[in-house]
Structure 1
Amino acid sequence: MSVHLSEEEQIESLKRWWKDYGKTVVIAVVIAVVGYFGFTTWQDQKRQKAENASEVYEQLLKLANAEPGKTLSDSDKATITHLAGELKDANRHSMYAHSAAFFLAKLAVDDNKLDVAATELKWVLSAKPEAATEQLARLRLARVLTAQKAYADALAQLSPEPAAAFTAEYAEARGDILKLQGDLDAARTAYEKALAATDSQQQERFMLLQMKVDDLKVDASPAVAAGEKAQ
């Protein structure tokens, strides 16, 4: 009899527990199941989105990387612009989107549409990219602004100092701007910095920078000659 009563008590206890907590347990289980499937779905969508972006970017690359000497047709440019727009709209924080904007900026520069190029590069910066992408965008924007003769704005893009990988290019760009502004001493200093940061194995680039430095070297011979004549 005691065993029978014990079982009844257990059943009553279970009923009370279920009455008090059963609904909460069901809700928790439902939330867990929905959360699991929701997370799985989100992961699948994210993976699919990345795969789609990769396919679109490959199409863009095939069109943009034309053979040497080949000029892109208006049709190719329109397709590139469309594909780049898809990548930018899909996820403005992705590397695909930033690379697409770089392509659009290059196309714009090639067509002498500097305002368009500047807009694309500013778009990359507005997306808060990783440091390397940001520094590349600032360097290219500085070049575009220099071509537009917006020298102060161009110099502003080159501050603060970049990572070591960009030191030479930033210094050269700064030198080009300073030379155009007529500050030849500062320009020479910038070129010397670029030269010092350039690997001599990069022969063409090293020689170009050396020429820029040599062009701005102070020629002391006229002063010496004048002194000799005075004597």
Structure 2
Amino acid sequence: MATHLDLEEQEQLDQLRHFWNTYGTLITWLVLLVAGAFMAWNGWQYFQRDKAARASVLYDEIERSAQAGDVARIERALADMKEKFAGTAYAQQAGLLAAKTLHEKGNADASRSALAWVAEHAVDPGYQAVAKLRLAAELLEAKSYDEALKQLAGNVPKEFEALVADRKGDIHLAQGKRDEAKAEYQKAWAAFGPGTDYRRLVEIKLNAVGVDPKSLESAAAGATPAKTKP
């Protein structure tokens, strides 16, 4: 004769079978999905670490080639970097380093090509802004003024706004547009913090276009609202 405890256990077993028959397939799929997602995440992390490690090795190759001044090796290594590791920070750094060395070696076209690639493909806005500023400087040197200004069009991170204004002023001055140059230098002067070396350089440029920086300081002081007494 079945005891009360046997009946309770049987009832619990029946409830468990009913629950599993109802939700078992769903639970199994959820477990498989979670396990699959976990494995995929681990695989992606491993892939990213491996990719970064291989990009690092190639960056070291570009760095050694730059130190040796081997232009051919730089161009080959940079081509490999762009093809295989374009989305990494190493690729952006490699493009800037290669451009600097290529420019120093007199290979202006290759240098501008490397900078243009970083300016277009860089994931980091800071690297992108640096590439545009350097490319604009090289185009200014080549007297390609309109192309230089195109590189500086659009938004840049706030910390680069003063540098962009200063570079635009240089380009306008080279074009003989003193008023435009003056306006950009004034923007740069206002954006740079007081006492910075770059601001002192901009002050020299302002003097060259007939603006006394002291007058800007007076105007800035006059625009500062006076503190009201409590």
TM-score, reference length from structure 2:
0.68
Residue 171 of structure 2 aligns with which residue? 177
In the superposition, relative to structure 1, how do residues 124 and 10 fare at CA in structure 2: closer, same or farther (>3 Å)?
A: same
Answer yes or no: is the 8 Å Cα contact 1:171–1:190 preserved in 2: yes
Q: Distance in 2 between matches of 1:113 and 1:183?
A: 30
Q: Deviations over 1:95-154 (max 9, x none)?
A: 211111223323443454444333322222222533322221111121232234321221
What are the within-5 Å matches in structure 2 for residues 30-179 of structure 1?
A: 30-66=32-68, 72=69, 76-159=70-153, 166=160, 169-179=163-173
Answer yes or no: is the 8 Å Cα contact 1:102–1:120 preserved in 2: yes
In the superposition, relative to structure 1, how do residues 207 and 44 fare at CA in structure 2: closer, same or farther (>3 Å)?
A: closer
What are the within-5 Å matches in structure 2 for residues 18-29 of structure 1?
A: 18-29=20-31
Q: Distance in 1 between matches of 2:154 and 2:14?
A: 74
**Identical amino acids, percent of aligned pairs:** 29
In the superposition, relative to structure 1, how do residues 49 and 105 fare at CA in structure 2: closer, same or farther (>3 Å)?
A: same
**Counterpart AA for 1:81:** E
Paired residue secondary structure (2:119): helix
Q: Distance in 2 between matches of 1:164 and 1:8?
A: 71
In the superposition, relative to structure 1, how do residues 26 and 159 fare at CA in structure 2: closer, same or farther (>3 Å)?
A: closer
Aligned length: 208
**Counterpart AA for 1:157:** Q
Residue 7 of structure 1 aligns with which residue? 9
**Counterpart AA for 1:175:** G
Unaligned runs of 5+ in 1: 67-71, 219-231
TM-score, reference length from structure 1:
0.68
Q: What is the root-mean-square deviation of aligned Cα atoms in Å?
A: 3.6
